[in-house]
Amino acid sequence: MAALLDVILPVFLVVGFGYVAVWRGLFSDQGTDALMKFTQGFAIPCLLFSAIANLDLAQNFRADLLLSFYVGAFSGFAAGLLGARFLFGRTWEDSIAIGFVGLFSNSVLLGLPLTERAYGADALSANFAIVALHAPFCYTIGITAMEIVRNRDAGLAALPGKVFRAIFRNALLIGIGLGFVVNLSGITLPSALTDAIDMMIRAALPAALFGLGGVLYRYRPEGDIRVILFIVGVSLILHPTVTFTLAKLTGLDRDGLRSAVLTSAMAPGVNAYLFANMYGSARRVAASSVLIATALSLFTAWGWLSLLP
């Protein structure tokens, strides 16, 4: 109970404040969009830039950590895709969009603040290693699968360009990439610049959580409940179970185990809906899954915290 009250509940209360503020008309949809644009386009890229620029790459980019998390993520994608196609009879396009829901956990807006509150800011190094590869990995799989299906009767010559453009227009990846440049080059940034970046960082997670609540208000459940509950189960149970099992089998250290499992146990991110919307496939399932899984992860994250050392 202490973990629920001290670690998880404050994070979800901030999300709840945003949800209620938009629901009661105290904060507009336009304000929510602007807030999310600020956090995801500017503040969080600053956070990721600073984290990667100062990260010990040799210590944190470890095969056991990344294998545990990303095999779990891919298992979520495969289970979601195949389940949607063969259990629920959805089209291949819908099935890939539903699989993407099981693939893309909310590693930044939920994973970072929960890990920080549970284990402190020093425990985030493994999270940042996961986050650095998260969007490239997920979008490469999702976009490649979708473009193959959509162009199965045509040539695939343009596929690499489409994947590259979709990935590297992402502001989060620009921040990560610049962080790698600074880290690997050994550049020393002016103190005025680092102080400004630190100011942006302090605004990033609280504002993003509040904005996430406002975004979730739009995605209230509407039908397709069986497939929604299926993919929510894949996201909240299958992905972290595979990650936890592999982490134990590979002997992943305590801090890596905590970061990998907690990140994998997070609800699907809003990017799951954005991907579905981009292709016009399974939008209702993706949107409702993000909302329902975010609410349920209040309790499932408590369960995973109780299992972690």
pLDDT at 255: 93
pLDDT at 2: 58
CB-based contacts of 153, cutoff 8 Å, min separation 6: none
Tell me the per-residue pLDDT of 142-192, one tens digit each, with 9 for 90 and over.
Answer: 888 887 887 765 555 666 766 677 667 778 778 888 998 999 998 999 999
Distance CA 302, CA 155 (A): 48
CATH number of 2-307, picked from 3.40.630.10, 1.20.1530.20, 3.20.20.60, 3.30.70.100? 1.20.1530.20
CB-based contacts of 303, cutoff 8 Å, min separation 6: none
For residue 176, give the nearest of 40, 42, 38, 50 by alpha carbon: 50
Determine whether 273 is exposed, middle or buried from the number of CB atoms within 10 Å of its CB (0-12, 13-18, 19+).
Answer: buried
Q: Where do the domains of the chain lie?
A: 2-307
pLDDT at 153: 58
pLDDT at 222: 66
pLDDT at 160: 72
Q: Which amino acid is at 103?
A: L
| Beta-carbon count within 10 A of 13 CB | 13
Phi-psi region of 17 (alpha: psi -120 to 50; beta: other; left: phi over 0): alpha
| Beta-carbon count within 10 A of 183 CB | 17
pLDDT at 93: 94
Q: Which amino acid is at 124?
A: L
Distance CA 121, CA 119 (A): 7
| Beta-carbon count within 10 A of 245 CB | 14
Q: Give the CA distances from residue 49 to residues 25, 29, 41, 79, 149, in Å, rounded to whole numbers and listed in that order.
A: 35, 28, 12, 33, 35
pLDDT at 227: 95
Structure-block tokens of residue 48: 């990721």
> Which regions in the chain score pLDDT beneath 70?
1-7, 152-159, 161-163, 166-167, 219-222
Tell me the per-residue pLDDT of 253-293, one tens digit each, with 9 for 90 and over.
Answer: 999 999 999 999 999 987 788 788 778 889 889 888 988 89
pLDDT at 220: 67
